[in-house]
């Protein structure tokens, strides 16, 4: 037993190195793009297009890497994904141009495969550490996202482009860690890769993400927005029909009818709508100087990064406490508690936001909720399917998170567009509407969580992740 515990802890420690790389990569470029854009000649529109490109790549790569991992081996695909991220990070740092930034950020989007593929390895190699391990990995991810942005911003204060090297050493460590990981013992899916389904899904999700990111600037009822929505709808319907007729589907749609996975994904969507979708709005409010009818706190870049660090620190605490909370009150209660906590944080922001301490109180509660929901949903999405579908199940949850965050950000943008001053600043009412909508979405996630049911052979606190014939 002692040797098994030691092996499990060593496995999780190795995975933490890879997850930290993922967090740094996701967090370090955001504060740098305005400065880097000025050096390489990319204006605000170009920076937004880079963000759009990376979001589309995130959405497309999530199901592909997850499916390939279940088909051809989780460790093999993890090595590919880590290699792509390392190459993209090095390319951006060594030669920052418009082209290399675009190509490098697409390569970096392979970080979306890290969690699904690591979950597959953890479940097969150390199931007794499943819940604790996933909580540790989520906590490490949250902390490293905030830390990566802070370190990059600090380096760029000394030299504008120095911050671009932030991710490179972490990527080198991640490559070494991926090589050291054992292979997954899960049985691989048999059959060929369904290329037509993959193309339709990629195009459909790409069109959907395009309209979510650009809809605010195009106008939600404009011809480009309506045409793109129609294209996304047609492509995704075509994808479903192809999958249903295929002997080797890219995504087993029967798995999506699993009521437990459906509840987890819906909960993830609702909470991510506010907790993740609001992060951009958080930075805007903190950085906007209060004037006239507008609202804000007028903080500098370093102070904003410290607030973000405080939020992810509370997220780390929430993720660490989630397994103990689940043992005490059960998984269904944890999902509802996470949603109610997030709603309480947003309601606090609605009522109290005129000073930094007031705002921080609500923001930290939102951060705590983020840690709880990410740890709970990523753990449960592993447990509710067969071992051979682990990576794909976690990938479905990651897609729900990405779509929830994107739609949340789009809704907040639309609310802001209708509540601005003559000078273009967002009014206090605009911020309050955004926080209120996020609170409603979080309450929706809490309500959805009440429908989650643990099966009779669900894992116990002692065994962690169970192997079952049908559902864990």
Residue 377 covered by a domain: yes
Please report the pLDDT score of residue 84 as a whole number.
95
Final residue of a structural domain among 183, 204, 221: 183
Give the pLDDT confidence of 66-122 residue by residue, as tens digits.
778 877 788 889 999 999 999 999 999 998 888 888 899 889 989 988 888 888 888
Same structural domain for residues 178 and 317? Answer: no
Same structural domain for residues 270 and 137? Answer: no
Residue 338 covered by a domain: yes
pTM recorded for the entire structure:
0.76
Identity of the highest mean pLDDT range in 25-39, 56-70, 308-322, 356-370? 356-370
Residue 79 covered by a domain: yes
Residue 207 covered by a domain: no
184, 79 contact by CB (below 8 A): no
Residue 407 covered by a domain: yes
Q: Rounded CA gap, 32 and 59, in Å?
A: 23
Same structural domain for residues 156 and 283? Answer: no
Final residue of a structural domain among 132, 152, 183: 183
pLDDT-above-90 percentage for the chain: 25
CATH assignment at residue 17? 1.20.1250.20
Expressed as residue numbers, the domain containing 79 is 1-183
Final residue of a structural domain among 137, 161, 183: 183
Q: Which pLDDT band, with edges at 50, 70 and 90, does 465 fall under?
A: very low
Same structural domain for residues 295 and 151? Answer: no
Please report the pLDDT score of residue 79 as a whole number.
93
Q: Rounded CA gap, 465 and 164, in Å?
A: 39
Query: Quick check: helix, strand or coil at residue 73?
Result: coil
Residue 319 covered by a domain: yes
Same structural domain for residues 270 and 145? Answer: no
Residue 420 covered by a domain: yes
Q: How many structural domains compose the chain?
A: 2
Q: Rounded CA gap, 138 and 87, in Å?
A: 24
Give the pLDDT confidence of 195-232 residue by residue, as tens digits.
788 888 888 878 887 787 777 778 888 899 899 999 99
Same structural domain for residues 262 and 132? Answer: no
CA distances from 173 to 170, 177, 351, 414 (A): 5, 6, 45, 41
């Amino acid at each position: 037993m002692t040797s098994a515990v030691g092996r499990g802890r060593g496995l999780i420690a190795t995975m933490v190195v890879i997850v930290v790389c993922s967090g740094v990569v996701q967090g370090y470029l955001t504060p740098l793009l305005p400065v880097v854009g000025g050096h390489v000649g990319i204006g605000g529109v170009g920076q937004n297009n880079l963000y759009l490109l990376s979001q589309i790549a995130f959405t497309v790569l999530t199901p592909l890497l997850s499916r390939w991992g279940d088909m051809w081996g989780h460790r093999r695909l993890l090595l590919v994904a880590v290699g792509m991220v390392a190459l993209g990070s090095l390319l951006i740092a060594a030669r920052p141009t418009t082209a290399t930034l675009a190509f490098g950020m697409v390569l970096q989007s392979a970080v979306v495969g890290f969690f699904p593929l690591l979950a597959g390895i953890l479940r097969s190699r150390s199931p007794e550490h499943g819940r604790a391990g996933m909580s540790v990995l989520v906590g490490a991810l949250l902390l490293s996202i905030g830390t990566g942005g802070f370190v990059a911003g600090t380096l760029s204060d000394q030299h504008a482009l120095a911050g671009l090297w932030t991710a490179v050493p972490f990527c080198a460590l991640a490559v070494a860690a991926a090589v050291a990981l054992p292979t997954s013992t899960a049985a691989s899916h048999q059959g060929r890769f369904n290329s037509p389904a993959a193309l339709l899904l990629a195009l459909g999700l790409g069109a959907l993400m395009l309209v979510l990111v650009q809809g605010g600037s195009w106008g939600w009822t404009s011809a480009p927005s309506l045409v793109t929505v129609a294209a996304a709808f047609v492509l995704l319907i075509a994808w479903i029909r192809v999958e249903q007729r295929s002997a080797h589907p890219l995504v087993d749609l029967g798995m999506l009818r699993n009521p437990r996975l459906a509840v987890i994904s819906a909960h993830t969507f609702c909470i991510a709508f506010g907790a993740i979708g609001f992060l951009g709005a958080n930075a805007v409010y903190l950085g906007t100087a209060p004037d006239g009818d507008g609202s804000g706190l007028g903080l500098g870049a370093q102070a904003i990064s410290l607030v973000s660090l405080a939020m992810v620190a509370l997220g780390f605490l929430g993720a660490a406490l989630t397994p103990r909370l689940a043992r005490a009150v059960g998984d269904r209660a944890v999902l509802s508690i996470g949603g109610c906590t997030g709603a309480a944080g947003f309601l606090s922001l609605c009522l109290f936001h005129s000073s930094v301490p007031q705002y921080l109180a609500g923001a930290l509660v939102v951060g705590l909720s983020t840690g709880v929901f990410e740890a709970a949903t990523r753990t449960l999405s592993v447990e509710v399917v067969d071992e051979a579908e682990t990576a794909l199940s976690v990938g479905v949850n990651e897609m729900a998170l990405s779509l929830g965050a994107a739609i949340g950000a789009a809704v907040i943008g639309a609310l802001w567009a209708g509540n601005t001053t003559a000078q273009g600043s967002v009014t206090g009412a605009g911020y309050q509407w955004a926080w209120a909508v996020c609170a409603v979405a979080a309450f929706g996630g809490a309500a959805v969580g009440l429908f989650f049911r643990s099966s009779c052979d669900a894992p116990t606190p002692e065994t962690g992740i169970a192997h079952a014939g049908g559902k864990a």
